[in-house]
C-alpha cells in the first residue's frame, strides 16, 4: 500500500526524517509531499503519530490518461462502493502538476460525476456531496498524463490536533510549530521560552514532543472511521498503545507528590523546562486551557508580562532557546511594529547572552530592526504568507571582541 503524506512548504526534509523515525520506508519525495509504503495499520499509526504531516492520502490507483473522457472512464471503473454506502457523503479535490487537459474545476466535476454515476448504476442511489465533513474525501492528482486516485484517510487536516478549541488572533499552525521546533534542532534537555506565546502552540507542541505524546491522540474523528474497510479493533489497539504517555501524564497529575515518588513512567525523570509568556491576559488563559487539554498543564509554565519587562525564566548563561513569532504588522512599515522588533533585539542582547534565539516573521524590514547578525535563515510559509525563520546566537559583548 502506498501512502502520500502532504506537508507545508519547507518541511519536506523534516517529514521525511519523521517517517524514518516511525519506521516507514520512503519511496518518493516531492514538493510538499513524501510517499512511503505501509500496511492497513499504517493508516491509523500515521494519522495518530505524525507531527509535521497535514494529510495521509492512500493511493488506490495510478493510470495513464490523455483526455477528460479517459479520466471519467477510469474513475467510474474504481470500486468506490467498497468504501462507503450510497447514503453516505463524498467530497472531491483535484491537484495538478504539468497537466493541461482541462481546468481543475472541470476535472473536479468530472470525477464527482464518475463516482456518483457508478453508485447510481449499482444501487439506484447516489451519495451526496459534503465539502465540510465528508465520509469519503477523494483526491485526484494529475502529473503530466498520469492520474493518481487517492482516499484522504485524515479528513480534517492533521494540524487540528484536538487540544485547541479557542483561538487568538492569527494563530500559528500546529504543524508549522512542530516543524519549526524540529528545524531548529530543539530537544527536551534544552530550556525553551516563547515570550509572545499567544494561544501556546509552540509550548504545547514542544510538550507533546518532550513527553512523547502522539499529536493525534486527542482527535475524536478521522475520515477512515466512516469506511466499510475500517478495522476498529486494529485501530483501538494502535490507539491504546500510542495513548500510554498521555494516560501516564493525566494519572501523574492526579497523584500527590508524596505518593508519586518511584511510581509511573515519568517518576524521577527530569522535568522539561518549557516556558511561555504574553502581555495579553486572555491569550494566557487560552494557552493554559490548551495545555490542560493536552495533559501538559503541570509541565509547562506560562506567565503574564511583556518580553522586555520579564526576567529570563532560566539562567541564560547555561544555554537555552528563545523562539518568537511576533506580530508582522498589517502594513509592513508600521512604525510601532518596527519599534517592537527593535525592543525584541535589545532585550535579547541585554538579557539573554548564551542563548540561541529564533524569530519567525513575514516582515523583512522589521527583522532588520533586531540588530543582530543571523547565523541561519529558512524560508517557510505561515498560511499564505512567505516567512523567514531567522536564527541568532547571543554573546556577551560583540563578536569582534570575542
Say what the pLDDT of residue 331 is.
Answer: 60
Alpha-carbon span 110 to 362, nearest angstrom: 39
Confidence band, pLDDT 50/70/90 cuts, at residue 333: low
Q: Across the strands, what pairs with 68?
A: none
Say what the pLDDT of residue 268 is.
Answer: 36
Confidence band, pLDDT 50/70/90 cuts, at residue 397: low
Confidence band, pLDDT 50/70/90 cuts, at residue 401: very low
Alpha-carbon span 138 to 177, nearest angstrom: 28
The yes-or-no verdict on residue 400 having pLDDT over 50 is: no
Say what the pLDDT of residue 165 is.
Answer: 79
- Evaluate the CA torsion angle 132, 57, 15, 30 in order and state its sign: negative
pLDDT in tens, 237-246: 999 999 999 9
Alpha-carbon span 195 to 320, nearest angstrom: 13
Say what the pLDDT of residue 248 is.
Answer: 85
Which residue stretches of 155-225 are H helix? 174-183, 201-210
Tell me the whole-structure pTM to 2 decimals: 0.91
Alpha-carbon span 204 to 190, nearest angstrom: 16
Q: What is the edge-to-edge ordering of all strands in the sheet holding 385-393?
A: 300-304, 274-278, 192-194, 321-324, 356-361, 385-393, 376-382
Burial of 109 (0-12, 13-18, 19+ CB in 10 A): middle
pLDDT in tens, 346-389: 999 999 999 999 999 999 999 999 999 999 999 999 989 999 99
The yes-or-no verdict on residue 149 having pLDDT over 90 is: yes
Residues comprising the chain, all counted = 402
How distant is the alpha carbon of residue 170 from its chain centre?
15
The yes-or-no verdict on residue 40 having pLDDT over 70 is: yes
Say what the pLDDT of residue 167 is.
Answer: 67
Whose CA is closest to 3, among 51, 54, 63, 66? 54
Burial of 365 (0-12, 13-18, 19+ CB in 10 A): middle
What residue ranges in 67-145 does DSSP mark as E strands?
89-97, 128-129, 136-143
Alpha-carbon span 70 to 341, nearest angstrom: 56
Angle between helix axes 281-293 and 201-210 (nearest 10 degrees) is: 30
Say what the pLDDT of residue 98 is.
Answer: 73
Whose cell is 484536538? That residue is 162
Residue 1 grid cell = 500500500
Say what the pLDDT of residue 189 is.
Answer: 94
Whose CA is closest to 213, among 252, 178, 245, 181? 245
Of 51-65, 85-99, 178-192, where does mean pLDDT reach its minimum?
A: 85-99
- Mean pLDDT, the chain, whole residue set: 91
pLDDT in tens, 271-303: 789 999 999 999 999 999 999 999 999 999 999
Which residues, in sequence order, are CB contacts of 270 under 8 Å at separation 6+? none
pLDDT in tens, 57-81: 999 999 999 899 999 999 999 999 9
Q: What is the DSSP letter of 195?
A: T
How distant is the alpha carbon of residue 2 from its chain centre?
21
Element holding 112 (H helix, E strand)? helix 104-123
Confidence band, pLDDT 50/70/90 cuts, at residue 253: low
List the domains of the chain with CATH numbers: 2-152 (3.30.2130.30), 174-211+272-393 (3.40.50.150)
Say what the pLDDT of residue 264 is.
Answer: 34
Say what the pLDDT of residue 102 is.
Answer: 75
Alpha-carbon span 49 to 8, nearest angstrom: 17
Cβ contact 161:167 at 8 Å: no
Say what the pLDDT of residue 261 is.
Answer: 32
pLDDT in tens, 153-172: 999 999 999 998 776 666 79
Which residue stretches of 228-379 are H helix? 232-253, 257-260, 281-293, 335-351, 364-368
Amino acid at each position: 500500500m502506498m501512502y502520500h503524506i502532504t506537508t507545508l512548504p519547507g518541511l519536506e526534509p523534516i517529514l521525511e526524517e519523521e517517517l524514518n523515525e516511525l519506521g516507514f520506508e520512503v519511496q518518493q519525495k516531492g514538493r510538499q509531499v513524501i510517499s512511503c509504503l505501509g500496511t492497513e495499520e499504517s493508516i491509523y499509526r500515521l494519522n495518530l503519530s505524525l507531527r509535521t504531516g497535514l494529510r495521509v492520502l492512500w493511493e488506490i490507483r495510478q493510470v495513464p490518461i490523455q483526455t477528460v473522457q479517459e479520466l471519467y472512464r477510469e474513475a467510474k471503473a474504481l470500486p468506490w462502493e467498497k468504501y462507503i454506502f450510497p447514503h453516505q457523503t463524498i467530497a472531491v479535490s483535484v491537484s495538478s502538476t504539468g497537466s493541461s487537459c482541462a481546468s481543475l474545476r472541470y476535472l473536479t466535476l468530472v470525477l464527482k460525476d464518475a463516482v456518483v454515476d457508478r453508485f447510481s448504476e449499482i444501487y439506484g442511489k447516489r451519495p451526496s456531496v459534503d465539502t465540510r465533513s465528508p465520509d469519503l474525501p477523494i483526491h485526484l492528482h494529475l502529473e503530466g498524463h498520469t492520474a493518481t486516485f487517492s482516499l484522504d484517510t485524515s479528513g480534517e487536516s492533521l494540524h487540528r490536533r484536538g487540544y485547541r478549541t479557542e483561538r487568538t488572533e492569527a494563530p500559528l499552525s500546529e504543524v508549522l510549530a512542530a516543524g519549526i521546533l524540529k528545524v531548529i534542532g530543539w530537544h527536551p534537555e534544552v530550556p525553551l521560552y516563547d515570550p509572545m506565546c499567544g494561544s501556546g502552540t509552540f509550548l504545547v507542541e514542544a510538550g507533546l514532543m518532550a513527553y512523547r505524546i502522539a499529536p493525534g491522540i486527542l482527535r475524536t474523528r478521522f475520515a477512515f472511521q466512516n469506511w466499510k474497510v475500517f478495522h476498529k479493533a486494529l485501530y483501538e489497539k494502535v490507539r491504546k498503545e500510542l495513548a500510554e504517555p498521555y494516560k501516564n501524564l493525566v494519572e501523574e497529575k492526579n497523584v500527590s507528590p508524596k505518593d508519586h515518588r518511584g511510581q509511573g513512567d515519568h517518576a524521577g525523570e527530569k522535568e522539561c523546562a518549557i516556558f511561555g509568556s504574553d502581555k495579553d491576559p486572555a491569550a494566557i488563559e487560552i494557552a493554559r486551557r490548551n495545555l490542560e487539554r493536552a495533559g501538559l498543564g503541570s509541565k509547562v509554565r506560562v506567565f503574564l508580562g511583556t518580553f522586555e519587562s520579564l526576567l529570563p525564566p532560566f539562567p541564560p548563561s547555561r544555554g537555552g532557546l528563545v523562539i518568537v513569532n511576533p506580530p508582522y504588522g498589517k502594513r509592513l512599515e508600521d512604525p510601532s511594529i518596527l519599534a517592537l522588533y527593535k525592543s525584541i533585539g535589545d532585550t535579547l542582547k541585554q538579557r539573554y547572552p548564551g542563548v540561541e534565539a529564533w524569530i519567525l516573521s513575514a516582515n523583512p524590514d522589521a527583522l532588520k530592526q533586531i540588530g543582530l547578525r543571523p547565523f541561519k535563515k529558512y524560508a517557510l510559509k505561515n498560511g499564505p504568507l512567505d516567512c523567514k525563520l531567522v536564527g541568532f546566537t547571543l554573546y556577551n559583548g560583540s563578536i569582534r571582541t570575542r
